[in-house]
């Protein structure tokens, strides 16, 4: 329980400057002093120096890593309020060892699913190129394709993958699916056909990955899988960057071995300024905006405020297991 002194609260990585507008923070007035940081610090020393004074950190999922080394140098830290149901960039064990409470928020996956389809449609219909041509004074420069009767391969058929399958069927696509524990019965429930990973990458016109990042899924797509894809096929990753061998994807695109790829997630974020993904042809990239919607942010920050308020009053909150 905090003392009567106002607690120091930091909101990290508020890139768009919308955290305070996305929820009613007035309930914390007089109880907490809130500092908002819109920039992102990548260097260890800078992160520690910035965060040392704060009792509470409000972190956007997987932006600023809170490693054991960082946590050990934050003597005032008592509460980490993270957005989303999980945050792989927080060392949970180290936090609990230091008596730091971790809490999370609700989440809506609508934004991530909708962005995935926006990227797929943009690639199939050459939207970026046609837009650039029109803005440059030109007119039609390419011939796009249909989704109907094409095949989508879903690597992962969990909550998001299942909804991807439902939308794919609305587009009249054939749906293949694979993951390490997926059963044929579960795939059929969502109108998908379970196949081997190799068959999925060989047969799909669009491959979209929807897995949780873990030790066993890191690098689950590499040169072998990408090498099986048809030269007319597209690859999409809106889940987590490290699921895919970055160097293998770069080489695949440089060799024009597939029709194209779309990415919203990367090994290092923000993406370094000189990274090949910023300039490669046949690649459509967005800056990890899958979950960045007004509606999702309202859930994130509403629950964050409720968690801090609950912690201040000593009532139950959304504690991370």
Q: Any idea which residues carry the catalytic annotation? A: 240, 269, 288
* 250 CB-contact burial (10 Å; exposed 0-12 / middle 13-18 / buried 19+): middle
Q: What is the C-alpha to C-alpha distance for residues 41 and 11, in angstroms, rounded to an integer?
A: 13
- Alpha carbon 53 to chain centroid, angstroms: 29
- For 164, half-sphere exposure in the C-beta direction (CA atoms, 13 angstrom radius) is 35
Rounded to 5 degrees, φ, ψ at 94 are: -65, -40
Pick from 303, 320, 314: nearest CA to 106: 303
Pick from 150, 200, 139, 204: nearest CA to 173: 150
């Amino acid at each position: 329980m905090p003392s009567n002194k106002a607690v120091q609260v930091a909101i990290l990585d508020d890139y768009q400057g919308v955290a305070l507008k996305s929820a009613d923070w007035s309930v914390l007035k007089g109880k907490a002093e809130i500092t908002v940081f819109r920039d992102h610090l990548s260097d260890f020393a800078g992160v520690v120096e910035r965060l040392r004074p704060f009792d509470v950190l409000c972190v956007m999922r997987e932006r600023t890593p809170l490693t054991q080394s960082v946590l050990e140098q934050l003597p005032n830290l008592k509460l980490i309020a993270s957005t989303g149901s999980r945050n792989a960039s927080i060392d949970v064990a180290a936090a609990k060892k230091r008596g730091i409470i971790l809490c999370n928020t609700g989440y809506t996956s609508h934004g991530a699913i909708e962005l995935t389809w926006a990227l797929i449609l943009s690639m199939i219909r050459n939207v970026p190129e046609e837009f650039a041509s029109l803005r440059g004074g030109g007119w039609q420069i390419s011939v796009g394709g249909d989704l109907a009767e094409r095949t989508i391969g879903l690597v992962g058929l969990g909550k998001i993958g299942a909804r991807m399958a439902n939308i794919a069927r609305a587009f009249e696509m054939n749906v293949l699916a694979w993951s390490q524990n997926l059963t044929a019965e579960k795939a059929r429930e969502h109108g998908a056909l379970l196949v081997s990973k190799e068959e999925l990458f060989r047969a799909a016109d669009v491959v979209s990955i929807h897995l949780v990042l873990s030790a066993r899924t890191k690098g689950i797509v590499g040169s072998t899988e990408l090498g099986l894809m048809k030269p007319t096929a597209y690859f999409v990753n809106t889940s987590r960057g490290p699921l895919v061998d970055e160097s293998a994807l770069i080489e695949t695109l440089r060799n024009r071995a597939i029709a194209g790829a779309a990415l919203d997630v990367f090994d290092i974020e923000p993406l370094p300024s000189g990274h090949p993904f910023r300039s490669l042809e046949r690649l459509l990239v967005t800056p990890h905006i899958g979950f960045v919607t007004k509606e999702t942010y309202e859930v994130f920050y509403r629950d964050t405020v409720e968690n801090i308020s609950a912690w201040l009053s000593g009532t139950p909150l959304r504690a991370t297991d």
